[in-house]
Amino acid sequence: MPEDNSYQSNLYKSILSETGEKNQGYELLENKVTVFFRPDDRTKKGTNCYLEDIEGISFVGLISEKGSHQTEQLPKFEWLKPIKINKRFATEIIDLEGRYYEGSYSHIIGIDSLIICLRDKYPEQEIDEDSTITVCVVEYC
């Protein structure tokens, strides 16, 4: 179940927050990452953790200081880059087509590495190959 993010402004809800671990910051700066994965079905507008857009634009942001849903503390970002969401869909990890791994971070090359990455980022959630995830395919503006 996604964390409650109702305390966040629409601007914060429009940011794909990334930590920069495992060279993620470099890959983001170089606009190499065009596919992002999140646990659960986050495709329905108005639900928790739905990635908003403001007049068709969202952002990818590199976190410099983590926030907390429990304390409603917002993260701080080193930088934000504008993106456009071209496609957003929910699927079970086991059913994800291989082409989507190619647009993701270089360390995500298949089912096993995707599960490890999501478990690292969302340790409070049980994630396995039957888990539903949201896939966001983006382009940089």
| CATH code for position 54 | 2.30.130
Question: What stretches in the chain show pLDDT beneath 70?
Answer: 1-8, 22-23, 48
Q: Mean pLDDT for the chain?
A: 88
Domain assignment of residue 52, yes or no: yes
Pairing label, strands 15-18, 58-65? parallel
Domain assignment of residue 136, yes or no: yes
Query: Residue 46: left (phi > 0), alpha (psi -120 to 50), or beta?
Result: left
Whose tokens are 């980022």? That residue is 121
Q: What is the pLDDT at residue 130? A: 98
Domain assignment of residue 5, yes or no: no
Q: What is the pLDDT at residue 23? A: 67
Q: What is the pLDDT at residue 68? A: 78
At position 67, the amino acid (one-letter code) is: G
Domain assignment of residue 61, yes or no: yes
Q: What is the pLDDT at residue 103? A: 95
Domain assignment of residue 120, yes or no: yes
Q: What is the pLDDT at residue 82? A: 94
Answer for the pair 81, 60: CB distance below 8 angstroms, yes or no: yes
Rg (CA), the chain: 14
Number of domains in the chain: 1
Euclidean distance between CA atoms 24 and 30, whole angstroms: 10
Q: What is the pLDDT at residue 55? A: 81
Domain assignment of residue 89, yes or no: yes
- Domain span at residue 131 reads 10-140
Domain assignment of residue 4, yes or no: no
SS3 49: coil
Q: What is the pLDDT at residue 84? A: 95
Domain assignment of residue 30, yes or no: yes
